[in-house]
Structure 1
C-alpha cells in the first residue's frame, strides 16, 4: 500500500510530467501553513524545494540578493546524507526512502548560483553519485527504475558542479549511458528520432514524451540552470543521420549526436505546433504543456539555436499569465523568468512578480533590468514601483483564485 510520502512523490512526478502544479483540490481543503522564507503561497508538500530552488536560481541570475531566510530555508531542508526531500516540515526527520533526486538536483544548482555553499553542494553531489542506478540512470526516489527526467536533472547538477558526467558511473555505466537509455534512435520512425521517452514501455519500447524530451535535452546539450549560453549557430539542429537499412533493434544514440538529435526533434515539434509542446493523455484532447515547452526553449538556447526557440519564447510570454496564474505560481514564474533571461528578453516585470512571492530581498541590482528598454532616472523609485506592481499582481491573482474557489463550491 502506498504511504502518504509515496503518494506525494507520485503526485509530484505526475505534476512534472503534465506540466501542471501538484496540490490538493481547491474545495474543502484548509489553507496550508507556508514556512517563513519560502516562495509561493500554495501547499509546499510536493514542490517546496523544487520551486524554492528555481526561484533562488532565477532571482540570483536577475542580480537580486535573496533574503537570508529564503536561502536558509533551502539549506535547512538538506538531509544529513546530502539529499533533499520534496519538502520537510520543520522539525521532521529525513526519511531517506523518499529523498527526491529532482529536488536535490535543483537545490544543487541553486546553491551553486548563489555561491558560498560549497559544503552543501559537495554533499548533494555525493548523494547523487551514491544513488545512481547500476545502468547509469537516476530515479525520482532511490531504489526505483530510472527515468529520463530525473537522469537529465541529475546531469544538469553535475554540469553545474563541474563534475564530468562521463566520469560519474555505477557498475561501469556513466551518466551519459544512463541518459542514452531513454533516447529514440534510428530504429524509431523518422519524425520521432532524437526524442526522449520517460521510461521504457512494454518490451523496452520507447515512446516520445514532451517533458522528458525537454528536460533531458538540456542535459544532452551540456547545460544547467541558469542557462546563459552566448553561443549562436547559424544552422538548425542536425537531425540524427541514419542509414537507409537502419537495424530494427534499438541502438543507443551516441553522446556526440544526442544534443543535436533532440534539438532537431524539439525544433520540428515546436514549429509544427504553433511554438509549443502538448500534453497528450489517452482519451483527452491535447493541451499545452507549459513546462515542457519552457525546457525545450532552454535547451535550444543552450545548444546555440536561439532562433529555433524565439517563437516559443514569444508563445510563453503571451501565455505567461495563464501558466503562472497571474504571477502567483512561484515555480512557473521562476521557470518563465529563466527562459526570458536565457533569451535576453525584458525580465523586469517577471523579476518583480517573483520577488513579491517571497521575503523581501537583501538587495536588488538595478542593472539586472539591462535587457529592458531604457528608463528615465527617477532617483530609484522605479525599482520599488516594479516590486509594488508585482505585489499588486500577486494580490490580484490571490483574489481571483479565491473567487474561483467560491464559484467551484456552488457548481
Structure 2
C-alpha cells in the first residue's frame, strides 16, 4: 500500500467509524486535521504531517533498517513504543503520547500490525509485541479477518498485514479463530477472484462490492499473496516456482490463492513492468499514473511466491524510475524499495545507482551504529590531541617512581544512545 493511498484510506476509515458510531453511545473521534506547519517529533521519521501515517511510516522505516543491518536510534524506537495505547493498539498518530488513550482514540489494525512487525524484528520489545498481537486478536471479525478499524468489514489488505504481524509475534495465524471458528485464512481466500471470472481471475479483491462481486485489485493482490504465504512486509525471496503460470482452479487454499494472485500480477506487469494508479474521480488528468509503491509491493509478493527471477521486470523498472519518488515521499517509500531489494537479493545501497539506505537513514534520527562510530572518532581525536598523551605521561612517571614493571590500563568508553 503506497503512503499516499494509505493516508486516504485512513481518512475514509476514520470517517466510516464516525458514521457507524453515531447510533451508539461510544462515538469515535476523528483524527485531528493536518496542521499547515506540523511539529515533527525528534524521534519520528519524515518531515510531512504525520497525522495519518506517523506510526505506519515509522514502523516501515525501522523494519527496513533492521532488514539491512542498521540499528535504529534509540529515540526512534522509543517514539514508536510510546505511541501504543494501554490496550495494545496503535492509532495512526498521537501528538501527545503522554496523554492516555481513551474510547475516542481511533486505533487501527494497519498501524498496529505494522508496529508489531517492526518491534518484533528489532527485538527487546516483547511486552509491546505481545500487547499488540493481543489487541489484533481482540479486533478479529467473525469471518476471521480484519477491517481497517475495529468493527469495520474485513478487507484483503488489513487481513494480510495482520497475518504478517501475528506470524512475526510467534503466533500461528491459522490457529487464531473468531468466535465463529473462522481463521484469518478463511477470510483471506474469500477475497480471491475465481479463475473463471470474466476479468481478474486469480487476483484478490479489496472487498466484495454491494452485490457480493469481487473486482480485481492489484494493491490487494500484492498484499493477499504475502498473506496467503503467511509472510510480512519484509518477506524474503522464496523458492523458484517451477509451476508458475496461469490461474489454477480448485479448492481456494491460502497457498493456491497466493499462487493465483502471483499469476495475476505476472499478467498485469508483463507489459509496462509497473502497476498503475487510476485517475481520481473528477480529475482533469484522466490518464493512469505509475504506482511506485504498489509496484514495489508486487516485487516483494512475486519474489516471496516464486523467487527473485520472477520479479525481475518490475524490479528493473523500479531501479530505473523510483529514486525521485522515494526522495519525494520519504521514509515509507524508501522502506518499500528496501523491501523489494531484500526480497530479490538486490543491493539496497546501489539500487539503480541510488543508496536507499542512506536516503532512509537521512529521513530521521541518525542510526545508533552511526552515532557510535562518531563517538569513537571523537574519543580517538581527544586521545590524539592530549587526552591519551597526558594519561601516558602519568603512567610513565608512575613506573619510574616505583621502579616496577609495566602498567597496563584500559578505559571503558561510554556508548551514548538517543
Q: Give the structure-2-normalised TM-score.
A: 0.76
Distance in 2 between residues matched to 1:11 and 1:219, nearest whole Å: 23
Contact 2:61 2:335 in 1 (8 A): yes
* Residue matched to 2:192: 183
Deviation at 1:114, TM superposition (A): 0.3
Contact 1:136 1:174 in 2 (8 A): yes
1:124 aligns with one of 129, 132, 135:
132
* Residue matched to 2:287: 285
Distance in 1 between residues matched to 2:201 and 2:14, nearest whole Å: 25
Distance in 2 between residues matched to 1:54 and 1:120, nearest whole Å: 17
Three-state SS of the structure 2 residue aligned to 1:204 is coil
Structure 1 residues 70 and 24: CA distance shift in structure 2, 3 A: same
Structure 1 residues 40 and 201: CA distance shift in structure 2, 3 A: same
Deviation at 1:225, TM superposition (A): 3.1
1:296-330: CA deviations, max 9, x gaps?
A: 1111111233212111111112221232135x611
Deviation at 1:96, TM superposition (A): 4.8
| Residues 5-24 of structure 1 mapped to structure 2, 5 A cutoff | 9-10=10-11
* Residue matched to 1:137: 145
| Residues 255-274 of structure 1 mapped to structure 2, 5 A cutoff | 255-272=254-271, 274=272
Structure 1 residues 305 and 236: CA distance shift in structure 2, 3 A: farther
* Residue matched to 2:66: 60
Number of equivalenced pairs? 340
Contact 1:186 1:242 in 2 (8 A): yes
Structure 1 residues 305 and 13: CA distance shift in structure 2, 3 A: farther
Structure 1 residues 128 and 37: CA distance shift in structure 2, 3 A: same
Larger Cα-atom Rg: 2
* Residue matched to 2:224: 216
* Residue matched to 2:327: 325
* Residue matched to 1:242: 249
Distance in 1 between residues matched to 2:118 and 2:8, nearest whole Å: 26
Contact 2:277 2:289 in 1 (8 A): yes
Deviation at 1:186, TM superposition (A): 3.5
Three-state SS of the structure 2 residue aligned to 1:315 is helix
Q: Give the structure-1-normalised TM-score.
A: 0.77
66-75 vs 254-263, greater mean Cα deviation: 254-263
1:127-164: CA deviations, max 9, x gaps?
A: 11110000111011101111111011111111222311
Structure 1 residues 11 and 33: CA distance shift in structure 2, 3 A: farther
Structure 1 residues 325 and 256: CA distance shift in structure 2, 3 A: closer
Distance in 2 between residues matched to 1:340 and 1:12, nearest whole Å: 31
Three-state SS of the structure 2 residue aligned to 1:331 is helix
1:194-241: CA deviations, max 9, x gaps?
A: 111111102101101121111121111221132223x33152524333
* Residue matched to 1:79: 85
* Residue matched to 1:51: 57
* Residue matched to 1:232: 239
Distance in 1 between residues matched to 2:144 and 2:150, nearest whole Å: 13
Three-state SS of the structure 2 residue aligned to 1:278 is strand
Contact 1:183 1:194 in 2 (8 A): yes
| Residues 301-320 of structure 1 mapped to structure 2, 5 A cutoff | 301-320=303-322
Deviation at 1:7, TM superposition (A): 8.8
5+ unaligned residues in a row in structure 1: which ranges? 1-5, 15-22, 244-251, 366-379, 381-411
Structure 1 residues 256 and 62: CA distance shift in structure 2, 3 A: closer
